Amino acid sequence: MLVIAKMVKVSLDLEESLHKAIRKRAIDKGITMKAYIIELIKKGKSVEESEALEETEE
């Protein structure tokens, strides 16, 4: 069975300097800004999950 995730559109208001920094890093990686932002969010989520596991082990 194929499961398709529901997608939602998100709009962000960013300071120009942050927008430029994100755009530059995305270009450097050869990916879109959207892909780069999703990558950052996933990394953050992974870090949070790791921290939660560490807390339960203590």
pLDDT tens string 5-33: 899 999 999 999 999 999 999 999 999 99
43 belongs to a structural domain: yes
How many structural domains are present in the chain? 1
23 with 33: CB under 8 angstroms? Answer: yes
Q: Is residue 35 pLDDT above 90, yes or no?
A: yes
45 belongs to a structural domain: yes
35 belongs to a structural domain: yes
Range of the domain at 24: 16-57
7 belongs to a structural domain: no
9 belongs to a structural domain: no
| pLDDT band at residue 58 using 50, 70 and 90 as cut-offs | low
Q: What is this structure's pTM?
A: 0.72
5 belongs to a structural domain: no
| pLDDT band at residue 54 using 50, 70 and 90 as cut-offs | confident
49 belongs to a structural domain: yes
Q: For residues 38 and 29, what is the distance between their CA atoms, to the nearest angstrom?
A: 13
6 belongs to a structural domain: no
